[in-house]
Amino acid sequence: MACDVWGGKLDAYLDGELDSAEAGELNKHLRGCGACAADALERVQVKRAVAASGKRYEPSAEFRARIIKSVAGELPTSQKRDLGHPSGRAWKWWVLAVPALSVLIVSLLVNFYVERGKARRQLVYSELVDLHVGTLASASPVDVVSTDRHTVKPWFQGRIPFAFNLPDLAGSEFTLLGGRVAYLGQAPGAQLIYQVRKHEISVFIFQDQGPGMGVPSTPLRALSFNVENWSQNGLRYFVVGDVNADDIQALSKLLRDAG
């Protein structure tokens, strides 16, 4: 279909109002068409700007009390209580909205925006990608520096509320660099850094409960990072790296077999 046809559907697409078949087609078109992708990006930016700017006014405490009283007063059977401010919605996807520099990133971003159903998973993934990138950018990426799993694993004892097994890497391309304690949704977990052909991969292990853990176990490509995750023995594993999906899968298999 031509650009002008798709152009007319961009808004509905970004508002999540296209059916999945059409959305898929349009998404495919965006990946190949720089002009439409740029147009979509502009629309996303305006949407985001309005969403943020539109949340502008807060009622005064006094007015809130007055309304709550009037509502509760009219219905003596209902319990009066302070509902306070509504909990914030998932505005954290903002953190993902990095300035997009290429058509690929634009279309991934746009795609992300549309697939709100995946937002939760994306949120977790984006936090993990942030953690991964942040760790590698740090002057001291790991707190326990060792290629020996028998050194790294005991280091975590007493630092995190669970234990895990690490694979024997003999005969594989992977090297263990070390580990550190990481936090996801305020829960402590282990972050292990592995290396394969000069690329670092983070393996995150958290207890499989608590915030953000209800993510489906499917691989995902998030903004040029490959992410794999699965649940095993009450632990949730995430493998994050900028290497190709095969390497991620290979390391995941080693960890699965060990766990």
Partner 1 sequence: MKVTDNRLPAATFEELAVPLFDQLYNFARWLTQDTSEAEDLVQETYAKALRGFSSFQAGTNFRAWMYRILRNSFLSSRTGLKVTAVFDEEGAEGVPAAADATTPESLYIEQANRQIVQDALAELPVPFREILLLCEVEEMSYQEIAETLSIPTGTVMSRLSRARKALRAMLRQRLKGGRHGV
C-beta closer to partner 1: residue 64 or 118: 64
Interface positions with partner 1 (CB under 8 A)? 11-12, 15-17, 38-39, 41-43, 45-59, 63-64, 66-68, 70-72, 74-75, 77-78, 80, 83, 85-86, 89, 99
C-beta closer to partner 1: residue 88 or 234: 88
Q: What is the rounded CA–CA span in Å between residue 142 and residue 148?
A: 14
Q: How far is the CB of 38 from partner 1 (least distance, A)?
A: 4
C-beta closer to partner 1: residue 110 or 152: 110
Structure tokens at 18: 């296209």
Q: Strand 235-241 relative to strand 175-184: parallel, antiparallel, unpaired?
A: unpaired
C-beta closer to partner 1: residue 9 or 149: 9
Q: How far is the CB of 86 from partner 1 (least distance, A)?
A: 6
Q: How far is the CB of 55 from partner 1 (least distance, A)?
A: 6
C-beta closer to partner 1: residue 4 or 246: 4
Closest CA to 29 of 3, 55, 58: 3
**Contact yes or no for 245/219 (Cβ under 8 A):** yes
Q: Quick check: helix, strand or coil at residue 214?
A: coil
Q: How far is the CB of 97 from partner 1 (least distance, A)?
A: 11
Q: How far is the CB of 112 from partner 1 (least distance, A)?
A: 16
The C-alpha angle with vertex 44 and arms to 40 and 48, in degrees rounded to 5, equals 175
Q: Quick check: helix, strand or coil at residue 237?
A: strand
- Which uninterrupted H or E stretch holds 247? helix 245-258
